[in-house]
Amino acid sequence: MESLKEGSNQLESILSDTQLPRFKRLWLASLIELKLLFYIAAPSVLVYMINYLMSMSTQIFSGHLGNLELAASSLGNAGIQVFTYGVLLGMGSAVETLCGQAYGASKYDMLGIYLQRSTVLLMLTGVPLTVIYIFSKPILILLGQSSRIASAAATFVYGLIPQIFAYAANFPMQKFLQSQSIVAPSAYISMVTLLVHLLISWVVVYKIGLGLLGASLVLSLSWWIIVVAQFIYIAKSERCKHTWTGFSLQAFSGLPDFFKLSASSAVMLCLETWYFQILVLLAGLFHNPQLALDSLSICMTISGWVFMISVGFNAAASVRVSNELGAGNPNSAAFSVIMVTSISFIIAVMLAVVVLVLRHFISYAFTTGEIVANAVSELCPLLAVHIILNGIQPVLSGVAVGCGWQKFVAYVNVGCYYVVGIPLGTLLGFKFNFGAKGIWCGMIGGTTMQTIILLWMTYQTDWKIEVEKAKKRLAKWKLMEATPEKA
């Protein structure tokens, strides 16, 4: 805890020292920032990639049962499960803003209350989301999906109902730990859970023969293993002794105000996750929906796996920016943004090149069909562009969370995604008969516009003003904790 604080203070001191030559100042600052970023980003990337790999492996197990099962699990994941993931992860991002800034300001006692309050809200939100899962079949049919695929997808979705409440418990704990730069324990927990998940999935799907339902039930179980293990760590670890002091009735106070920030965070992230969810749903409306769904879902699964790297940097950006703003270090906050965005972009370009090189072979990890493989190969150039954009956009969203800009970014997402991206993609896909390529091109256009706006917004930011905003935000919430009956 203290070493990270020292590194942060040292970084601000170097960046503020105008007596140092510019090159030396940037070099020393870069070394410190790289160390701080690596400490957060490396295990964060590992956590998100492993967690995503659990879902990806479930889809692979399902896909090897047949093309229908692959389409069903893809539709269940992209059409229903991603909806819940976006809502709950977005609401959990409120913890990221408040805990990150409170930790930077050394107001450790506030973090545990934020964790509990967020968990209560997310658990309550999980109840209406369960209803959507229960009625997933008629919902998918209403959205234009074939009855055969919708029925199989619903079977898969039923097994994911316990996962809803695992998400509700996991995301606040994950953000609580990340805000304190405690990420490695979550990585170890995820690694062990993944091994358990693969073994149990193989037994349940292939040996016992429970098929799609068994595969999704095992995925839910794996998420609950992560939840229990993380809570035990928080409750027992010495590193959390100042930020977790046990359960408190204050978790039930101030819920309306906390919900407002959580809702803004949820809307911001949901508009992003639903955007690509709609891509898969639109694919189900084509003349050959199974081929379109299979090829697009494989590309989106690969994109999602690579996206986990950017999400790890998103977490690092959010933690670094919120911590520095809470500590009153505007120069360090600005420098962190530049460093994390640059590193994430470089990695994304490298991965995009790998995808293009392996474009003819990628699909065989999911299915043995040559027709699907050819369709995936044709989509890979778009996948490469998509990966490069995801090297920038999620990091800038992490900066927005660290600063508390969720409401503004939500408006940007509405305009770029739903006024430009989806209508343009629909026009190219259906009117001009470009099919899946057309839909994806339109949606990439929306993402490009959003990325440019966020880049400009970040470039124009006055970080000294953001420091003052962080102080006012913490003062407001601290007052609410002191007078919970008035919250």
DSSP 447-474: HHHHHHHHHHHHHT--HHHHHHHHHHHH
Which residue range(s) make up the domain with 59? 24-486
Q: What is the mean pLDDT of residues 225-242?
A: 92
Is 128 within 8 Å of 272 (Cβ atoms)? no
Domain count of the fold of the chain: 1
For residue 484, the model assigns a pLDDT of: 46
Of 126, 230, 241, 134, nearest to 178 by C-alpha is 230
Q: Rounded mean pLDDT of 104-120?
A: 84
Q: Is residue 424 assigned to a domain?
A: yes
Average pLDDT over residues 191-203: 93
Alpha helices, H only, 64-143 = 67-76, 82-104, 109-134, 136-142
Mean pLDDT, range 50-76, rounded to an integer: 79
Within a domain: residue 106? yes
**Model pLDDT, residue 79:** 67
CB contact set of 22 (below 8 Å; sequence gap of 6+) = none
pLDDT at 9: 73
| Domain annotation covers residue 396 | yes
| pLDDT (tens digit per residue) in 351-383 | 999 999 988 887 777 766 778 788 888 888 988
Measured between its terminal Cα atoms, the distance across the chain in Å is 31
pLDDT given at position 34: 87
> Does some domain include residue 18?
no
Residue 314 inside a domain? The answer is: yes
**pLDDT at residue 376, rounded to an integer:** 83
Beta strand extents in 263-330 (DSSP E only) = none
CA distance 417 to 46: 29
Specify if 10 maps to a domain: no
| 355 within 8 A of 383, measured Cβ to Cβ | yes
Furthest-apart CA pair in the chain: how many Å? 71
- Is pLDDT at 1 greater than 80 in this prediction? no
What pLDDT score was predicted for residue 391? 87
When the pLDDT of each residue in the chain is averaged and rounded to a whole number, the result is 83
Domain for residue 9, yes or no? Answer: no
4 lies in some domain: no
Distance of alpha carbon 434 from alpha carbon 426, whole angstroms: 10
